[in-house]
Amino acid sequence: LAEEAVNIKEEAEFYELIGLAYNGLIKLDDGLKNLEKARRLNPKRDTVYRNIAKTLMGLGGIENHEKALKEYTNAINIDPKPHWYFERSIVYLRLKQKEKAMKDINIAIKKDPYNPMFLTRKGDIYATFGKFDEAIEMYDKALESDPINKDIYNKKEGAILAKEKQFGIKKISEKGMYG
């Protein structure tokens, strides 16, 4: 029985790898079929659920996004890794469920408080709420952990510009109003 269990786990890992290979070739339907077979063989493997969720997101559409939420929830139930919460927050954002996205990203940050991806995502969520000061603060925290990340600088600059537009603030040059 032990040998049979090892063979099933190895077979599940094989189908998971085949599914990921198909996904890499942009053959998402074939990838999904293989990942689902891996899940049937080893339903206790959190990465399979996560990879199914990512594949569903790649396929697009609200129905697939809702299915992806369930897959991420299954992965979290098996092993509540902060990254699974981070990725599920992305799905919630796409489904315009901002409060749930914020709840998930807060859990991820609690588990890994200096992760720049998590801090950046929280800034993004704040920006969707129109809370640009909070977004800028999160981007600054992310930059403390990853000070050379140009994407974070760009997001921070976008939040600053959005805040200026929101409040009708005109930027004055570094030299002053009369330059």
Angstrom distance (rounded) from CA 21 to CA 39: 16
Using one digit for the tens of pLDDT, what is the confidence trace for 140-160? 999 999 999 999 999 999 999
Task: Please report the pLDDT score of residue 11 as a whole number.
Answer: 81
> Contacts by 53-61 with C-beta closer than 8 Å and gap 24+?
53/87, 53/88, 53/91, 54/23, 54/87, 55/19, 55/23, 55/28, 55/31, 56/32, 57/90, 57/91, 57/94, 58/23, 58/28, 59/28, 59/29, 59/32
Using N-to-C axis directions, what is the helix angle for 116-128 and 132-145, rounded to 10°? 170
DSSP secondary structure letter of residue 43: T
Using one digit for the tens of pLDDT, what is the confidence trace for 3-25? 665 587 888 887 788 887 877 77
Q: Which of 47, 81, 84 is nearest to 69 (CA)?
A: 84
Non-local CB neighbours of 73 within 8 Å, separated by 6+ positions = 88
Query: Predicted confidence band at 177 (pLDDT cuts at 50, 70, 90)?
Result: very low
pLDDT above 70 for 130: yes
pLDDT above 50 for 34: yes
Question: Average per-residue pLDDT in the chain?
Answer: 89
Angstrom distance (rounded) from CA 80 to CA 93: 20
Angstrom distance (rounded) from CA 27 to CA 87: 21
Using one digit for the tens of pLDDT, what is the confidence trace for 88-110? 999 999 999 999 999 999 999 99
Query: Predicted confidence band at 170 (pLDDT cuts at 50, 70, 90)?
Result: low
pLDDT above 60 for 179: no
Using one digit for the tens of pLDDT, what is the confidence trace for 112-129? 999 999 999 999 999 999
The alpha-carbon radius of gyration of the chain (Å, integer) is 20
What value does the mean pLDDT take over residues 126-142? 96
